[in-house]
Chains A and B, each alone.
Chain A
Amino acid sequence: MKQLRTRFRLLTLVVIALLLVAGLYGVYSVTIYGSRWFSNSRNTRYQSAKRTVIAGDILDRNGVVMATTDSDGERVYQSSIKARRASVHLIGDREGNVANGVDSFQANYLLGFETSLSERVAALLRGETRRGDDVTLTADSKLNTHIVNAFESGVNTKGKSGAAVVMNYRTGEVLALVSLPVFDPQNLTESDRNNAQHPFWNRALQSTLAPGSTFKIITAASAFENLSDIATHQFTCTGATKVLDQTIHDYRMAQHGNLTLERAFTVSCNNAFAQCALILEDAALRKTAESFGFNDNFLFRDLVVENSVYPTTNRNLVEVAWSGAGQSQIGATPLHMCMVAAAIANNGVMMEPRLLLQVKGPGGVVRMRFTSKEYRRAVSTDIAATLQTFMKNVVASGTGTAARVNGLTIAGKTGSAEAAVDGQAVTHAWFVGYIESSKLPYACAVLVESGDSGGSVAAPLAASIFKYLLDTYGK
């Protein structure tokens, strides 16, 4: 009987442990995923709450009202059609076609789910319809409009799909988040719905594409982390490095001859970076990519971002070689590539991207104020400093000269990523970069799908963004 009792206690321990795990898991998942589950566009609860609660306003960082509720309870966006089109992916639309816009993802604030009991009772006693909280964003509505105008009127970008992200690399505040094509959130048309370019899709956060040569920032970081003599190592670019039965070629079949990693970065030489990746080997390069956030489950507080991928399977040498130039199944979103450039600018520390500045109750009382948070250290301060020089070279004398702006020191990296769309080979144009300035600590990423050369198509858009930032915040 004594042994029986001991075993009883053991079994009880097992059952209690199971219940404990269930409870802890429940608390964990509600804390981490709760707002994602709640703000799901399929949740009918906040649609029914919309009938009883007046949704709060959404303001940009300068106080511009980006969304409000009219007397009929309808959601109204900015009166200028250009402005409301430009911010449609950031805010959302009336029908909920855009996933996880502020209108839906922050519905718990906007529809007053965070309102305290006493406030609810007070509203009930006064016989008023309950009003949700007002949300102030870190975004600059005018900057969004400026980017969309530049994109839609550019000779090389008109009619194309793409995305742009601007963030403060010291704080992680997102100033602009644009996905193209855009549409009018108040007057949806049949052509929006049937558009083959899928305008409802938020490319800045949801589209993981090969980052192409912008990934060379990470390859170079990995080289400095793992190879002691890399600064003086001479690569040879014949324009055709043989790996197994294939050849690594360069953009427009260029040949760069003998060159160092620094030079290879400036002219964006695929051959040198392919050789570099082969010396590093897959595991080391993957490790660096992961320290930049690849393969991580992005659970940012304010943004729902598709995870970036660096393949974890065993890969052949051709795939490893191409990885050095950001090809072969590597995928990242424009927001994440902006974070990569921002991390270099911020001396190796990657900040969590954030979109909320504060939440105000209907009475004007500030209910919540949000602070910046470090996401992870991507790379050491020393290597970040080296890469800053590399990136400045790119804009000063390399492939990114089109990003130059008078009166600013710009650093960046271009990318021309090869991809297959519907069986056809296309080249996506990328540019990631930042302004070196303590007054204007901004980084940006620009993507033009099927845009061809990053240096001549994406970089000029970045220049126009930097110019706007200088004119608006540089005084």
Chain B
Amino acid sequence: MSRRDHASTPSRRRPDRRLVSAMMLFFFSAFLLLALKGELRWQGFALAFAVPLLIYIATMWLPRFFPADKLLLAIANFLCALGVLVLYTTDLDGGTSRGLQQAVYYSVGIAVMLFCILLVRYVRNWRFLIKLVMLGAAGLMVLPLAIGTEQNGATNWIQISGTSLQPSELVKLALLLILSYYMSRRKFWTWMLFAVFCLGVLMLQKDLGTALIYYITALFMFYANTGNLPLTGLGVLGGVGAALVGYDRFAHVKKRVAIWINPWLYYETHGYQIAQVLMAIASGGIFGVGLGLGAPRVIPVYFTDCIFAVICEQFGIAFGILVLVMYGILILRGTSIATGARSSFLALLAMGATVMLGIQTFVIIGGVLKLIPLTGVTMPFVSYGGTSLVSCMGLIGFLQGVASINQDDLEYDYEISHSLGEAAALPHADGL
């Protein structure tokens, strides 16, 4: 079958050249504006060309080799590029070069996405591989406990030759593969034990935000797979119970809740961060103070946890809502891919990736908007950080992999029905 034929099948998503061109133009002009602002900045010029190029490669060039969900791809790449842009604006008067680094991570992310697509698309027999994945993930998980460093109250980082790595982010990909593989084969205890092990290690590392995301993802996938409401309800109750115990036992959880209720009371100490976040969002108003303006650097960890506040300050709450809508579309596309899958392994994998992205988005954006207590998780695709970006692109890779198989299946159906139709039209067809 030639590529032309691919494109002619009924449900094939046509690449929207206009959408991608608009995205490329947006980022090109944004980086150019920043590069020309005040003094000339070579980093801005470099990014003005590099970022649109990366967008082109990921959304227009890669899908030539396999059928893809273009809208999903376009949105994920827009968010990645937005992260690079916002990080670059915070570099302008700070002497950091997070924008440039994030662009490098972005290109690594595209490579990982490709790897995950290939993994899902071409690996047919997971029996042996999944055990290897499990072993590797378990090893990665305990690594920070052995050689980790503490950052912001949680020991979830390791240092390898100068670069720091957050293994729990990478284990997310393995977790999804393991959960969907064993769930689809009804091996309850295998996935359960692995999930409990991961949660236990995360608790030991005091990385409660990530633990929350792991827990909800596993619970949602369990419900999707079995439809067992009583056990799912028990799981929810268990989660609430664990949260209450955590509130009682961990002083820093108590602090977070108190800050959430009224950050201004604790302004001088722990409430400082969320208070600064709220002031930044309020300063932006509806349409923002403008690209590269505002004072993002006064917010603690503006480049990871609080990057949504920086977006809202520069582009306004209106744009912030649009970003939320993009995540919403991402989730709808993910669900559509999951419901289109023909095997329960692929369906669960796609659904798990979707739920994971959705929950993580809610936890961080809800936290920044003070709807729920702020926990230290990253904003998918946008936050500064190699491991976070890479794992999110890996999730997109899973989704694209499943989408490509769905597409192949559809085309196969199409072919069959066609040949059936042709056979029926022939008067002397034997045996039909």
Complex alpha-carbon distance, A45 and B327, angstroms: 30
For residue A475, CB closer than 8 A to chain B, the reply is no
Given A9-B339, A12-B332, A12-B354, answer yes or no on A35-B321 (Cβ-Cβ < 8 Å). Answer: no
> Is A30 within 8 A of B281, CB to CB?
yes
Residues of A within 8 A of B365 (CB): 19, 22, 26
> Is B339 within 8 A of A38, CB to CB?
no
> Is B279 within 8 A of A37, CB to CB?
yes
> B310-337, CB under 8 A of A: which get 1 and which 0?
0000000100110011011001101100
Residues of A within 8 A of B335 (CB): 8-9, 11-12
Complex alpha-carbon distance, A398 and B282, angstroms: 51
Complex alpha-carbon distance, A5 and B341, angstroms: 9
Which of A4, A27, A35 is in CB contact (< 8 Å) with B224? A4
> Is B279 within 8 A of A19, CB to CB?
no
> B336-357, CB under 8 A of A: which get 1 and which 0?
0011001010010001001100
Given A11-B355, A12-B354, A25-B369, answer yes or no on A4-B225 (Cβ-Cβ < 8 Å). Answer: yes
Chain B, interface SS category? helix
Q: How far is the CB of A298 from chain B (nearest CB, A)?
A: 16
CB contacts under 8 Å to A, within B140-188, are none
CB contacts under 8 Å to A, within B290-313, are 294-295, 298
> Is A38 within 8 A of B279, CB to CB?
yes
What residue of chain A has the Cβ atom nearest to residue B295's Cβ? Answer: A45
Complex alpha-carbon distance, A16 and B365, angstroms: 13
Complex alpha-carbon distance, A63 and B357, angstroms: 57
Residues of B within 8 A of A25 (CB): 366, 369, 371
Residues of B within 8 A of A12 (CB): 331-332, 334-335, 354, 358
Interface size class of B (residues with CB under 8 A): 35 or more
Q: How far is the CB of B14 from chain A (nearest CB, A)?
A: 24
What residue of chain A has the Cβ atom nearest to residue B370's Cβ? Answer: A29
Residues of B within 8 A of A5 (CB): 338-339, 347
For residue A439, CB closer than 8 A to chain B, the reply is no
Q: How far is the CB of B46 from chain A (nearest CB, A)?
A: 28
Q: How far is the CB of A37 from chain B (nearest CB, A)?
A: 4
Given A19-B362, A23-B324, answer yes or no on A8-B279 (Cβ-Cβ < 8 Å). Answer: no
Q: How far is the CB of B233 from chain A (nearest CB, A)?
A: 14
What residue of chain B has the Cβ atom nearest to residue A6's Cβ? Answer: B227
For residue A7, CB closer than 8 A to chain B, the reply is yes
Interface size class of A (residues with CB under 8 A): 35 or more
> Is B328 within 8 A of A19, CB to CB?
yes
> Is A11 within 8 A of B369, CB to CB?
no
Residues of B within 8 A of A16 (CB): 328, 331-332, 358
For residue A43, CB closer than 8 A to chain B, the reply is yes
Q: How far is the CB of A417 from chain B (nearest CB, A)?
A: 27
Q: How far is the CB of A108 from chain B (nearest CB, A)?
A: 8
Residues of B within 8 A of A1 (CB): 342, 344, 347
> Is A23 within 8 A of B321, CB to CB?
yes
Complex alpha-carbon distance, A48 and B283, angstroms: 12
For residue A97, CB closer than 8 A to chain B, the reply is no
> Is A21 within 8 A of B317, CB to CB?
no
Given A42-B275, A43-B279, answer yes or no on A11-B351 (Cβ-Cβ < 8 Å). Answer: yes
> Is A26 within 8 A of B321, CB to CB?
yes
For residue A300, CB closer than 8 A to chain B, the reply is no
> A86-125, CB under 8 A of B: which get 1 and which 0?
0000000000000000000000100001000000000000
* The 10 A-B residue pairs with the shortest CB-CB distance in the complex, in nearest-first order: A15-B358, A37-B282, A38-B282, A12-B335, A26-B369, A34-B282, A5-B339, A18-B362, A37-B278, A43-B279
Q: List 26 A-B contacts (CB under 8 A).
A: A3-B227, A4-B344, A8-B335, A8-B351, A11-B223, A11-B335, A11-B351, A11-B355, A12-B334, A15-B358, A16-B328, A16-B358, A18-B362, A27-B321, A29-B369, A37-B279, A38-B279, A40-B264, A42-B275, A43-B279, A44-B295, A45-B283, A45-B294, A48-B295, A113-B285, A113-B289
Query: With A7-B224, A8-B351, A44-B298 given, can you name 13 additional A-B contacts, CB distance below 8 Å?
Result: A7-B227, A11-B220, A11-B224, A12-B358, A15-B331, A18-B359, A19-B365, A20-B328, A40-B264, A40-B279, A43-B279, A44-B295, A45-B280
